[in-house]
A and B are shown apart, each in its own frame.
Chain A
Amino acid sequence: MQASGGSASGPFMSVDSATVRKIASLARIATSDAEVEAMVPELNNIIGWIEQLGEVDTSAVQPMTAVIPNILRLRDDVVNADPLTGGNIRDRVLANAPAPEHGFFGVPKVIE
């Protein structure tokens, strides 16, 4: 299955179960075989519908990067410039942690 990056009107790319498995893996969502099979027609239905965007001639425009024109502000380069987003709040940061340990987020070991 070839991808046509950059082309405004590529052929209909249908997804198969191998593609769904790959996407699910990228998205880090465990998906059973049955769920993968169920997803294939669902995603194809939706992707088939969004394919119509390929009809539009977009050669004269740029992608929209700012919804309402605005400047990107930089805050003052000061530690704890805003108390609501500042530091020294470790206990609050850990308050919802599933497995806090000694002031860290506990996680299972990474198996290489």
Chain B
Amino acid sequence: MTDLTNLTVAGIRDGFRAGDFSAREVADAFNANVAAAKVLNAFIVETPDHAVAAADAADRDRSEGNVKPLSGVPIGMKDLFCTQGVQTTAGSHILEGFTPQYESTVSAKLWAAGAGMLGKLNMDQFAMGSSNETSFFGNVISPWRRSDGGNAALAPGGSSGGSASAIAARLCPAATGTDTGGSIRQPAAFVGISGIKPTYGRCSRWGVVAFASSLDQAGPMAHDVRDCAIMLEAMAGFDPKDSTSLELAVPNWEVALSGDLRGKRIGIPKEYRVDNMPAEIDALWEKGIAWMKDAGAEIVEVSLPHTKYALPAYYIIAPAEASSNLARYDGVRYGLRDLPDGAGLQDMYAATRAAGFGPEVKRRILIGTYVLSAGFYDAYYTQAQKVRTLISQDFDRAWEKCDLLLTPTAPSAAFALGEKSDDPLAMYLNDVFTVPSSLAGLPAMSVPAGLDGQGLPLGLQIIGKALDEQGVLNAGLAIEERAGFTARAEKWW
């Protein structure tokens, strides 16, 4: 019998429909992998019963001739999505024990499509981080190791580090992630899988614990482009409960997948060639350009002049929005309450938040509070919002000359846990290639493209026009077809 946990989402879906195996067998196989991989710390909560129940329902549906789009497919759910009756923490102590009384729109859609839940995936606290080192529930460890023979534990990237690690280690075939400044794309690149952040507004944010509301977007992470298309179709769609939700039909992204890029112009933004860019990443980018040509595309050099201001603008806007969104965690209605003896209401707020938030979360709340405070609002926040307009206009001008952009996803391969955690700024620089498209709300995806000198995955990023997920997925497929990326993390856990 095939090891079912080596199958992709499409492989499981189609094999299940063809009667090759039961959904129960698939759920049991992944549940076993999850239970045997605790050392990776990818899951905060395991929910094998949920996966089994969904599998049993799928097997029943199949016998009645009634299969749904994801019947038979168990997935991981990032712990940022409210799941009814199942703890949802956002990786934070301040929400430890919080049990939502409702289901997020995105997770509800996935369950309605027939998927099952293997567990809630670990993540950087409140989605703030690029290495999954800020979770209250401990670091997530990447299943990858450097080929130098050392056993240094590597970061899976962040904030969707648990999602990335779990997929790469075959604990689940796919997972949800969220991406605010790169939190789907960068971890996908670090562990050699695919991940897409759709156009802002494609996936509902209702029931997603908010970090930065003008940037947060849910998206799928999976082994390949087809799986991402399948998952995104199930996750996306108009939701009246999210005022920023796009009132547009969900395109049939999977059916229209094609790696034929004839007639497409791929833009190479010169400002993404940063100082001290590792030669390997530059070389991979060149390979990507060659693959695009091979797929029939025309290559065009373009300029996005305000690129270098994207990261500082992001680190004003996102913390500002976070300081507002995280004001609700005050110990009154849900979550942790810390009530020192004799404390009044204000002391309760201050003590609860001090005890409940981790250091990176506090840092960002303080930055956000500062840039929004009286006297500084215009110099910082308004200025950043104006720079954001300029960054968006840069993309608009680029679209006059090209249809899609090709860039590296991250400025390095995965680093070791602890290697960058001393300097918050060094950590922020991980997002240099992903943040601009987040600020502009554009769809962007990372696909695995090669390995570095130490055998670690490297990814390439495709950015598209608003609403052109199809263009992005297709270019991703063209890379996937030519990159021949079959490397897997060797099992040490």
Contacts and interface: CB of A to CB of B under 8 A. Distances in A.
Q: Do A and B bind each other?
A: yes
Interface of A: 3-8, 10, 13, 15, 19-20, 23-31, 39, 42-43, 45-47, 49-50, 52-56, 58, 61-65, 67-68, 70, 72-73, 75, 82, 84-85, 89, 92-93, 95-99, 105, 107-111
Interface of B: 97-99, 101-102, 199-201, 214-215, 240-241, 243-244, 246-247, 306, 308-309, 312-313, 315-316, 323, 327, 330-337, 339, 343-351, 353-354, 357, 362-363, 365-367, 369-371, 373, 375-380, 382-390, 392-393, 423-425, 440-441, 466
A15 B424 CA distance: 17
Given A5-B376, A72-B243, 20 more contacts: A3-B375, A5-B379, A13-B376, A23-B370, A24-B366, A27-B369, A28-B330, A29-B365, A45-B424, A53-B387, A56-B383, A58-B387, A64-B388, A64-B392, A67-B215, A84-B102, A84-B241, A85-B241, A108-B339, A109-B345
B491 to A, nearest CB: 39
A99 B337 contact: yes
Contacts, number: 190
A50 B313 CA distance: 7
Contacts of B424: 42, 45-46
A7 B323 CA distance: 24
Contact of A107 (B308, B332, B386): B332
Given A45-B425, A62-B389, A67-B440, A23 B378 contact: no
Nearest to B369: A27
B35 to A, nearest CB: 28
Q: Main SS of the interface on chain A? A: loop
Contacts of B350: 25, 28-30
A68 B343 contact: no
Nearest to B100: A96
Contacts of B387: 53, 56, 58
Contacts of B375: 3, 5
Contacts of B390: 56, 58, 61
Nearest to B370: A23
5 A-B pairs closest in CB distance:
A3-B375, A63-B385, A111-B344, A58-B386, A67-B441
A15 B370 contact: yes
A70 B200 CA distance: 11
Contacts of B348: 107-108
A29 B362 contact: yes
A46 to B, nearest CB: 6
A26 B369 contact: yes
Contacts of A62: 386, 389
A28 B349 contact: yes
16 contacts: A5-B376, A27-B353, A27-B365, A28-B350, A29-B366, A47-B370, A50-B380, A63-B386, A68-B200, A84-B241, A93-B101, A95-B101, A96-B334, A97-B334, A108-B348, A111-B346
B201 A67 contact: yes
A100 to B, nearest CB: 9
Contacts of B385: 63-65
Contact of B315 (A8, A23, A30, A50): A50
B200 A67 contact: yes
A30 B441 CA distance: 35
B382 A63 contact: yes
Nearest to B391: A64
A108 B363 contact: no
Contacts of B371: 50
Nearest to B393: A61
Contacts of A26: 369, 373
B200 to A, nearest CB: 4
B241 to A, nearest CB: 6
Given A27-B369, A46-B315, A109-B345, A98 B466 contact: no
Contacts of A29: 350, 353-354, 357, 362, 365-366
A53 B312 contact: yes
Contact of A53 (B243, B309, B393): B309
Nearest to B337: A98
B333 A105 contact: yes
Contact of B240 (A6, A15, A73, A99): A73
B199 A68 contact: yes
Given A7-B379, A50-B312, A54-B383, A109 B344 contact: yes
Contact of A30 (B201, B306, B351): B351
A28 B425 contact: no
A47 to B, nearest CB: 7
A35 to B, nearest CB: 8
Among A58, A99, A110, the one with the most B-chain Cβ atoms within 10 Å of its Cβ is: A58
Given A64-B392, A108-B339, A43 B363 contact: yes
Nearest to B313: A53
A95 B84 CA distance: 12
B354 A31 contact: yes
A50 B349 CA distance: 29
B357 A50 contact: no
A3 B330 CA distance: 30
